[in-house]
Structures are given as C-alpha cells and as structure tokens.
C-alpha cells in the first residue's frame, strides 16, 4: 500500500492522467485520426469534446487555427483551455503572404508596421492565459523577435493598420 504522505505531496497531479495539445479550427472542430490516437487510449468521447470546443469558439471565424490544451483526468473527465493562433499566423495575415524568405537574417523583403505588432500583442494578451500579466511592451518585443526570425522587417509606420482582431463570423 502507498503511504498517504507521498500522495499529499503531489495532490494537484494525483487526478491528472495526461495533458494533450491539439490544434483545431475555431467553431469547425471535428474528430480526426490524430485526435483519435491522442484521446482514444484515455477513453474520452471525441465528439463531445468537439461539440464543446465548437460551442466555446462559435464567435470566431472557422478558418482561424486555435491551440487547445486538454487535460484528461483519471475519472474520464476533462477540461480544456483555448489559446489564440500562433504568432506566425497573425504575422502572415498582417503581411498577406504565406511564405517568407528562405534565409532569415540575410534577406528581408517583407515589412510590417509596428502598429500591427501592437494589435497582435493586444490580442495575445487578451486571449492567451500565459500572457495575461505580461506587459504589452514585452509581448511586442517577443513578436518583433519572431518577425526577425521569419525575415520580416518591422517599420515605424508603413500604413494605417486595419484593426487586426480574431475574425468574428458575420
């Protein structure tokens, strides 16, 4: 028999079985083989999870890729946390390109306005629970460094940004 002392030291992790990271389109989640491989051994109902994710993301356009962290517990219950799209997705949408330079740091032929960086940072701070208490300045610095790794130049003013928001269905 296990001692109760070892259980109490890890009380928060006793009921967790596994944490799974998924990528789904907003309000268009559906069961797929990859999800089945991740959730099947845990005994979780994929259709129920998809319904709940679709209900929680119903206000967002279906072409927006979201990151979902699902925590499965031993009693076959679960909870999930919805995170915003990756920063690279926002940058690609703001610039209007799908591919960038093959040699980042050497060739930078795409520019983005600092105003877009600020708008992306506001979205990240609002939606991402890990960025809730990080200052906008620091989030902007993170985004600027990601732009440089993608081969995108950040300019002071390129054009007036159209408010970048997670697109909402009409």
pLDDT tens for the chain, 170 residues: list them.
333 333 333 445 556 778 888 888 888 888 888 888 888 888 888 888 889 988 988 888 888 888 889 988 888 888 889 888 888 898 888 888 777 767 666 666 778 888 889 999 998 888 888 888 889 999 999 999 888 888 888 888 755 545 455 555 55
Least Cα distance to 70 among 29, 19, 26, 36 occurs for: 19
- Report CA dihedral (121, 126, 131, 136) to the nearest 10 degrees: 40
Contact (Cβ atoms closer than 8 angstroms) between residue 40 and residue 47: no
Q: What is the pLDDT of residue 42?
A: 85
Q: What is the pLDDT of residue 74?
A: 85
Q: Is the pTM of this model over 0.85?
A: no
Q: What is the pLDDT of residue 8?
A: 37
Q: What is the pLDDT of residue 3?
A: 34
Q: What is the pLDDT of residue 143?
A: 92
Q: Is 57 exposed, middle or buried (0-12, 13-18, 19+ CB in 10 A)?
A: buried
């Amino acid at each position: 028999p296990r001692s109760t002392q070892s259980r109490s030291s890890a009380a928060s992790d006793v009921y967790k079985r596994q944490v799974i990271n998924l990528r789904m389109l907003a309000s268009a989640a559906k069961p797929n083989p990859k999800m089945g491989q991740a959730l099947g051994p845990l005994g979780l109902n994929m259709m129920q999870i998809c319904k709940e994710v679709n209900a929680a993301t119903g206000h967002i356009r279906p072409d927006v890729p979201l990151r979902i962290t699902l925590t499965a517990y031993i009693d076959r219950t679960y909870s999930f946390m919805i995170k915003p799209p990756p920063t690279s997705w926002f940058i690609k949408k703001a610039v209007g390109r799908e591919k960038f330079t093959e040699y980042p740091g050497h060739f930078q032929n795409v520019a983005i306005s600092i105003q877009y960086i600020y708008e992306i940072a506001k979205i990240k701070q609002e939606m991402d629970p890990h960025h809730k208490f990080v200052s906008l300045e620091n989030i902007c610095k993170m985004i600027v460094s990601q732009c440089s790794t993608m081969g995108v130049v950040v300019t002071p003013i390129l054009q007036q940004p159209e408010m970048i928001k997670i697109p909402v269905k009409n």
